[in-house]
Chains A and B, each alone.
Chain A
Amino acid sequence: MSEFDHTLHAEAEAHEPQPYGTFIAVWAVLMALTCVTVTASMFWPGRAGTAVAMAVTPVKASLVLLFFMHLKWEPTAFKVMFLTAVSLMALFMGLSFVDYLYR
């Protein structure tokens, strides 16, 4: 087993289960952010409501990824893997989007 593998395994096994309260707090924030998005879309239909949704939705997604999916406590290798995959996908989607609209 290489030193890298060894570190990865030690790090991955190391993190202890979190307190239940952490996840309940994250859930409460997610519910509240949903209410914010819905309220904004009702009171400011159109651009302002969409802007709020575009700002809040990635925050909600990050909370799910970091806490519920445990990325916050995973070894660096997992974080790098995730960011690489998502960045590449965002890049390809962005390029395809621009290409389709402005060709």
Chain B
Amino acid sequence: MSDLATHAGGTHDAHAPHGGAHGASLGDAHGDAHVAPHKDYVGAKTGMWLFLFTELLLFGGLFLVYAVYRTLHAHEFHLAAASLNVPLGVTNTFVLLTSSLTMVLAVTALRRGDRASTLNSLFWTIFLAGVFLVIKYFEWSAKFAHGLYPGSAHLKELPAGEGLFFGLYFVMTGLHGFHVVVGMVLLTVIALQVRRGRIHSGDFVKLENAGLYWHLVDLVWIFLLPLFYLTN
């Protein structure tokens, strides 16, 4: 009798982990479908900052190349920089700084539960990003019209230092411009989620992280302005 009880108990124990695990996984699936999924606000924001650090490395490497070649070709860099359109560069700085303001106002408005203001601010952020790209389009078109574009014959005839300046100008403002395009798409997706109520005052980390990305784009431009436009 005692043996039988032990045996029965042993059998039960041996099966318990399997049964338990099975039960738990069923429970999880049930939880995902009907209960609010687990959220990690700090973890989400930490992850965003880690991504931003990789962005800093991406642009940092280019800034390093710029620093080395500007030191080696100081005179040519000044000559080449003089041909850039300063008013357009400065206007774009004002545009991006203002879009950064509307971005942070969007995050603040959502945290205060004001969805209409959030959407309004996001619209202006995306609109100003578009204005930035339109100005960039006219600026680059003028350069192209003067035979200045990556790999152009005119660029190859210029002294090495000026060629390097324009090479870095196109790569760095081009990479930055690409980030502006990505930002416009990202902010549009986020704005739609805000409108559908999927991002709200109780769960706003996606909007906040999109904001961090947008401010980084602004941050990079803050450094590009003096390096390229104000070097004459």
Residues on A facing B (Cβ under 8 Å): 8-9, 12-13, 17-18, 20, 23-24, 26-27, 30-31, 34, 37-38, 41, 45, 49-50, 53-54, 57, 60-61, 64-65, 67-70, 75, 78, 81-82, 85-86, 89, 93, 96-97, 100-101
Q: How far is the CA of A18 from the CA of B103 in the complex (A)?
A: 14
Contact, CB under 8 Å: B215 / A20: no
Contact, CB under 8 Å: A23 / B101: yes
Q: Tell me whether A50 and B231 are in contact in the complex, defined as CB-CB below 8 angstroms, given that A13-B41, A37-B226, A101-B71 are known contacts.
A: yes
Contact, CB under 8 Å: A20 / B105: yes
Main SS of chain A's interface residues? helix
Among A12, A49, A101, contact of B41 (Cβ-Cβ < 8 Å) = A12
Contact, CB under 8 Å: A9 / B41: yes
Q: Give the shortest distance, in Å, between A11 (CB) and chain B (any CB).
A: 9
Q: Give the shortest distance, in Å, between B156 (CB) and chain A (any CB).
A: 24
Contact, CB under 8 Å: B56 / A41: no
Instruction: Knowing that A64-B215, A101-B71 touch, tell me 6 more A-B residue pairs with CB under 8 angstroms.
Output: A24-B101, A26-B101, A37-B230, A61-B219, A69-B216, A75-B42
Q: How far is the CA of A69 from the CA of B103 in the complex (A)?
A: 10
Tell which of B13-21, B86-94, B164-172, B174-182 binds the partner.
B86-94
Main SS of chain B's interface residues? helix
Q: Give the shortest distance, in Å, between B101 (CB) and chain A (any CB).
A: 4
Q: Give the shortest distance, in Å, between A9 (CB) and chain B (any CB).
A: 6
Q: Give the shortest distance, in Å, between A64 (CB) and chain B (any CB).
A: 5
B136 lies within 8 A of chain A by Cβ: no
B141 lies within 8 A of chain A by Cβ: no
Among A24, A41, A81, contact of B226 (Cβ-Cβ < 8 Å) = A41
Contact, CB under 8 Å: A89 / B97: no
Residues on B facing A (Cβ under 8 Å): 41-42, 45-46, 49, 53, 56-57, 60, 63-64, 67-68, 71-72, 86, 90, 93-94, 97-98, 100-101, 103-105, 107-108, 111-112, 208, 211-212, 215-216, 218-219, 222-223, 225-226, 230-232
Contact, CB under 8 Å: B230 / A64: no
Among B67, B94, B103, contact of A31 (Cβ-Cβ < 8 Å) = B94
Contact, CB under 8 Å: B45 / A12: yes
Q: Which 8 A-B pairs have the closest CB atoms?
A: A53-B226, A17-B111, A41-B230, A27-B101, A85-B53, A68-B104, A68-B215, A12-B42
Among B49, B218, B232, contact of A82 (Cβ-Cβ < 8 Å) = B49
Q: Give the shortest distance, in Å, between A98 (CB) and chain B (any CB).
A: 10
Contact, CB under 8 Å: B105 / A60: no
